[in-house]
A and B are shown apart, each in its own frame.
Chain A
Amino acid sequence: MSAVSQSLRAHATWRWWEFALLAVLLVSWLLLPSHALLLNEIAILALFALSLDLILGYAGVVSLGHAAFFGIGSYAAALFAKLVMPDPLVGMVVAVAIATALGALFSVLILRGTDLTRLMVTLGIASILYELANKLDWLTGGADGLQGVVMGPLLGQFEFDLGGRTAYAYTLAVLIVCLLLARRLVHSPFGYSLQALRDNRLRAGSIGLSVNLRLVAVYAVAAGIAGAAGALLAQTSGFSSLDVFEFHRSAEVMLVLVIGGTGYLYGGIFGAIVFKLLHDLISAWTPQYWNFWLGLFLVVLVLVGREKLMRPWTWFGAKKS
């Protein structure tokens, strides 16, 4: 017993590179002011990928429609700012609450069936939300997007500036908070039971873990965090459009997570950094055909083995099992 709890505790202690990463994130705000816009985008994507990691990396649910919650958060925050009050923090709380509630609601749909069924249902939900947002154009602005969203100053003091520094600071803060929260979650008994679920659902059920309840819980949390990412996008850009529900968003976040590595929480951050930088680099060189290189990268990545990407020491030499 104590050996088990000791090893679990060892797992949960902070590694040196976690501290280093946090330090780098904080310092980046100070040292790279001219890149604040790009960094803001990377951070939002990282947060989105983090939310996906909870359901994909830790609970083993393959979702092709996670953008549904990203979009919900985005529109909720934008509409709240436009119609109720422009304070960003209150808007964030509202958006996260709505996304979490809907996550819990939709999670019921993914409990049964095979991987393919789940894929289809998640895809279907995102598509339906897209259509809804399109049809309710009196509310959402339809295909033109929601305009007239003017955000109030953060904490009543800091205006969102053109250079994006306030935005990036805000996003970083939300990212770090969610990261700490998620970290607490996965290193708790709940978190370990999730991994048991992922590895063998049948067995987990047979030893008495209530599979469905856990799935609902983790799906709701992941939806809430994805909603936070969407809200950040809407609030820092003052705009929300149908694009937030599009398939390419769901596909992109999955790619990002896979590049960084699933199942250890930081994959989203590393993946977002690598992905966005690659994108910027390759797009500058060949704006039209960037997707080709992305596709090629994916194919090669999967063929070679995706666990290897973030572990350069495995690139050459003997294969580990």
Chain B
Amino acid sequence: MLTLLFDGIAYGMLLFVLAVGLAVTLGLMNFINLAHGAFAMAGGYITVLAMSRLGVPFLLCLPLAFVGTALLGALLEPTLYRRMYARPHLDQVLFSIGLVFMAVTGVDYVVGSMQQNIQLPEWLKGRFDIEWIGIGKYRSFIIIVCGVLTIALQWVLAKTRFGSQLRASVDDPRVAGGLGLNVNRIFLLTFAVGSGLAGLGGALGAEVLGLDPTFPLKFMIYFLIVVAVGGTTTLTGPLLAALLLGIADVAGKYYVPKLGSFIVYTLMIVILLIRPQGLFARAGGGK
């Protein structure tokens, strides 16, 4: 039972890191980016290819995945995404779906459609068995890394100037611009970091979630659930939503395997019915 809880937390933390970029993009630029999963996939593939072709050790691949994907995001934001901010949501949805299709088939073409396997370093394989719970080493690693990232993100938002600039821009971009903040640059940096985090999440998750070209399509709904339920105005909202989702999913599949993903979707619909702005959104503000 506790093992389940542990697994659920690991899964939830991973989902959070994967989805946080999406939450911020939505909150900041009001852009529904369904292609977010593609950045995660990119990070996963960078890791796999670096490890298998170039022999880069796993730990080094993680920052590599982050930086690589962040660069990709920094490239795409000013060239493509920026033109779409003012567009209606339908256009944004179509645009990002188009990007996903291109990414999915592009990766299929270059790398092939098989599941990619990562050979973890030895010290990450296996588990600690303590009394009645088995703690997977790799899953603990995920929890630690994601935990550290969350704390770092929270610190950046709350304690740095960039953080307050970001929060100001989220609350009201026009006023922020009027006060002299370079909103474009903030958008660029935020998008890059958000994509980088997704890439890191993809690299971390390749072992646990599997990695193949259809990754963005398979997990898109989970990211969207985290963001819709968690709201986009705080950081703790998506975190709690991700944890809830992770635990509910794992527990559901164990206790009631007949219902499986049913539970997650129903839970989401119920939550959204009761609180359409998300479970943890701040009152007031928001669209």
Taking beta carbons and an 8 Å cutoff, which residues of A are in contact with B? 56, 62, 64, 109, 112-117, 119-121, 123-125, 127-128, 131-132, 135, 247, 251, 254-255, 258, 262, 288-289, 291-292, 294-299, 301-303, 306
Q: Note all chain A residues with C-beta closer than 8 A to B94.
A: 254-255, 258, 298, 301-302, 306
Binary contact readout B250-284 vs A (1 if CB under 8 angstroms, 0 otherwise): 00000000111110011011001100110000000
Q: Is the CB of A123 within 8 A of B104?
A: no
The 10 closest A-B pairs by CB, nearest first: A298-B98, A295-B101, A113-B276, A295-B102, A292-B105, A299-B98, A302-B95, A120-B228, A295-B98, A112-B276
Q: Is the CB of A295 within 8 A of B100?
A: yes
Question: In the bound complex, what is the Cα–Cα distance between A131 and B257 (angstroms)?
Answer: 12
Question: In the bound complex, what is the Cα–Cα distance between A292 and B109 (angstroms)?
Answer: 10
Q: Is the CB of A303 within 8 A of B83?
A: yes
B interface, size bucket: 35 or more
Closest to B286 in A: A114
- A113-B272 in contact given A56-B90, A255-B94, A298-B95 (Cβ < 8 Å): yes
Task: Quote the shortest CB–CB distance from B263 to chain A (angstroms).
Answer: 10
Question: In the bound complex, what is the Cα–Cα distance between A303 and B91 (angstroms)?
Answer: 9
Question: Do most interface residues of chain A lie in helix, strand or loop, or is the interface mixed?
Answer: helix
Closest to B103 in A: A295
Question: In the bound complex, what is the Cα–Cα distance between A113 and B287 (angstroms)?
Answer: 9
Within 8 A of A (CB), among B77-113: 80, 83-84, 87, 89-91, 93-95, 97-106, 108-109
Using A116-B227, A255-B97, A295-B102 as known contacts, list a sample of 18 further A-B pairs with CB atoms less than 8 Å apart, ordered by residue number in A. Answer: A62-B89, A109-B269, A114-B287, A115-B32, A120-B268, A123-B221, A123-B224, A127-B221, A127-B265, A128-B262, A254-B93, A258-B90, A262-B90, A288-B105, A295-B101, A298-B97, A299-B98, A299-B99
Question: A64, A124, A294: which contacts B265 (Cβ < 8 A)?
Answer: A124
Taking beta carbons and an 8 Å cutoff, which residues of B are in contact with A? 26, 32, 80, 83-84, 87, 89-91, 93-95, 97-106, 108-109, 217, 221, 224-225, 227-228, 258-262, 265-266, 268-269, 272-273, 276-277, 286-287
Q: Note all chain A residues with C-beta closer than 8 A to B272.
A: 113, 117, 120-121
Q: Is the CB of B273 within 8 A of A291?
A: no
Q: Is the CB of B98 within 8 A of A119?
A: no
Task: Quote the shortest CB–CB distance from B26 to chain A (angstroms).
Answer: 7
Q: Is the CB of B97 within 8 A of A291?
A: no
Q: Is the CB of B265 within 8 A of A128?
A: yes
Q: Note all chain A residues with C-beta closer than 8 A to B98.
A: 294-299, 301-302
Q: Is the CB of B276 within 8 A of A114?
A: yes
Question: In the bound complex, what is the Cα–Cα distance between A125 and B101 (angstroms)?
Answer: 23
Question: In the bound complex, what is the Cα–Cα distance between A48 and B126 (angstroms)?
Answer: 51
Question: In the bound complex, what is the Cα–Cα distance between A56 and B88 (angstroms)?
Answer: 12
Task: Quote the shortest CB–CB distance from A109 to chain B (angstroms).
Answer: 6
- A117-B276 in contact given A295-B102, A296-B102, A302-B91 (Cβ < 8 Å): yes
Q: Is the CB of B102 within 8 A of A292?
A: yes
Question: B102, B265, B266: which contacts A299 (Cβ < 8 A)?
Answer: B102
Q: Note all chain B residues with C-beta closer than 8 A to A113.
A: 272, 276-277
Question: In the bound complex, what is the Cα–Cα distance between A314 and B136 (angstroms)?
Answer: 60
Q: Note all chain B residues with C-beta closer than 8 A to A296.
A: 98, 102
